[in-house]
Amino acid sequence: ARLRRERNVRLAILGEGPEREPLTKLAEELGIAKDVVLLGWQSEPMKYFCHATVLAVTSRFEGFGNVIAEALACGTPVVSTDCPVGPAEILEHGRYGALVRIGDEEGFASALGKAIDAPPDPEFLKRRAQEFSVTASVSAYDRLIRPMAQKAAVRHTSARPLRLAIYMNDLSGGGVERMRLRLIPALQARGVEVTLLLHSLQGDLLPLLPKGVKTVAFGTSRTLWDLIPLWAYLRRERPDALLSSLDHNNVVAAFACGLSGTKTASIICQHNSLSDEARELGVKYRIIPFLYRVSRLFVHQVIGVSSGVAEDLIHTCGMRRDIVNVIYNPIIDDDLLRRANEPVEHPWFADGKIPVFVTAGRMVAQKDHATLLRAFALLLKQKPARLMVLGTGPLREELGQLAAELGIADAIDFLGFQANPLPYFRRADAFVLSSRHEGLGNVLVEAMGCGTPVISTDCPYGPAEILQNGKYGILVPVGDVEALAAAMASEPWRRWSHDDLIASTSRFQLDDIALKYIECIDRAREASGS
């Protein structure tokens, strides 16, 4: 606005975010609305940089300042705040562009005027930009990675690939099974030869079994009876490592490895809180911590899918801290956006006026759908809304009866198991999780990966870790019907932008998680002497 009083200039703002409306109003108040255009997100911003007279960067802080390097590559002058960190480094403290104190409106206007009147040589700016080229960056990464790759190569000197056996119950539609099926192709892509060992070859996820995976089904009547065929498999095939998941399977796998007399490395992965399971699920689960303590002699590495689960393993089962790893579930991959954008037909999505909430999970006591239904009933007394419930389980009929008793059946749709729930997450206004306890909370990450706001109980363990204690979503006390209803009614979840939510899930990238699994396998093999 200061510059416009003196010169015939125009300002184009590229990007999108929650400040769009306030900025539009401010431009009107300053009398410059006709000279300011908000162009929104642009897939190719550099074409605007190359045609601009000056790039203006008014940030309060930056991590680097990619746009500055991109403008220099176009030969376009840059005026930037001298904010931490990045601009001063890129512009070499003013040599390649003007730096102004943060919030100095008069100084910034003056610097813009000078850049217009006396622009630097474009070729001079382009030469500076070459220091941030892809070639230069690749060289730097190569210097970093090559020594680590050479070290890894020493560990993998055998001619044959790493052979990994993954043992689990079946291919039912749970989160654990989904995560394993997602992890297998990523391990295969890194040269790992995977064999899937199953208690029984059945389940809703059977069609998602990755191609080229050898599968062995023991076909026994109980998980305990898997011990003998698993022991025999290890004696016969001698894989480099055995990875198991879930409580009873972990115990069987550990004993099978210990009794096999082979050097197969044993790795167990815990996906839920053992202390909570022992308290809620009866005698069958109360004995698990004791069995873990006995079988830990045969375990070389332990994986907890969240920090809370890892700590629970250490304190409840006496696992040595030095063998316990925190490795998140592999949830975000290149295919997630494609799967999320698959079409889904439902009249509630077509309405657009009434908010639609979605939840997903097995209908068991742990997920506490009853609290969600009661909270939803309170919400409907204040405003219209709709709730989609994805999943199946033993409490399905009971929950349907509860919805009828609460008088909310017309506003709830029990959609059953969905092979691909992501389109529902993407189209919903918000995702709600009402669990009493979790190991991590995969569905929260999936919803956020779709750019959908989330509301969750602050249960042990996982949700607070995923949402970074409320930074990226709303946390309410476990079992608190009124608090959950208030969170859904007040709509504070709308303050999180689509892009911020997606960016917050970077810790759960499939490729990164696959590498962490391979590193864990290497440590286990070293401990087992294989």
Full pLDDT tens readout for the chain, 530 residues = 999 999 999 999 999 999 999 999 999 999 999 999 999 999 889 999 999 999 999 999 999 999 999 999 999 999 999 998 899 999 999 999 999 999 999 999 999 999 999 999 999 999 888 888 776 777 677 667 766 665 555 454 445 789 999 999 999 867 788 889 989 999 998 889 999 999 999 988 898 898 889 999 999 988 889 999 999 999 999 999 999 988 889 999 999 999 999 999 999 999 887 777 666 666 666 788 888 888 888 999 999 999 988 998 898 888 899 999 999 999 998 788 888 989 998 999 987 789 999 999 999 999 999 999 999 999 999 999 999 999 999 999 999 999 999 999 999 999 999 989 999 999 999 999 999 999 899 999 999 999 999 999 999 888 999 999 999 999 999 999 999 999 999 877 778 888 889 888 988 999 889 999 999 999 999 998 87
Using CA atoms, how far apart are residues 79 and 94, in angstroms rounded to an integer?
Answer: 9
Mode of pairing for the β-strands spanning 78-81 and 301-304: unpaired
β partners of residue 57: 80
Residue 422's contacts (CB-CB under 8 Å, 6 or more residues apart) are 336, 339, 340, 342, 446, 450
Q: Which two tokens stand for residue 57?
A: 């960067």
Using CA atoms, how far apart are residues 165 and 171, in angstroms rounded to an integer?
Answer: 16
Using CA atoms, how far apart are residues 470 and 476, in angstroms rounded to an integer?
Answer: 10
In the sheet that 474-476 helps form, which strands lie side by side, from edge to edge?
412-416, 386-390, 356-360, 430-433, 454-457, 474-476
Please provide residue 442's backbone torsions phi and psi, each rounded to the nearest 5 degrees: -55, -40
Predicted pLDDT at 127: 86
- Peptide bond before residue 292 is cis, with ω within 30 degrees of 0: no
Predicted pLDDT at 367: 95
Predicted pLDDT at 234: 96
Three-class SS state of 475: strand
Three-class SS state of 313: helix
Radius of gyration of the chain (CA): 28
Contact 329, 508 (CB under 8 A): yes
Predicted pLDDT at 155: 52
Q: What is the DSSP string of 321-363?
A: GGGEEE-----B-TTHHHHHTS----HHHHH-SS-EEEEES-S
Using CA atoms, how far apart are residues 371 and 272, in angstroms rounded to an integer?
Answer: 21
Three-class SS state of 467: coil
Three-class SS state of 428: coil
Contact 398, 368 (CB under 8 A): no
Predicted pLDDT at 157: 46
Contact 270, 304 (CB under 8 A): yes
Using CA atoms, how far apart are residues 193 and 201, in angstroms rounded to an integer?
Answer: 20
Using CB atoms within 10 Å of the CB of residue 44, give its burial: 0 to 12 exposed, 13 to 18 middle, 19+ buried.
exposed
Using CA atoms, how far apart are residues 229 and 220, in angstroms rounded to an integer?
Answer: 9
Three-class SS state of 280: helix
Predicted pLDDT at 159: 53
DSSP 433: E
Using CA atoms, how far apart are residues 392 and 395, in angstroms rounded to an integer?
Answer: 8
Contact 129, 72 (CB under 8 A): yes
Using CA atoms, how far apart are residues 357 and 226, in angstroms rounded to an integer?
Answer: 41
How far, rounded to the nearest angstrom, does the alpha carbon of residue 368 sit from its chain's CA centroid?
A: 23
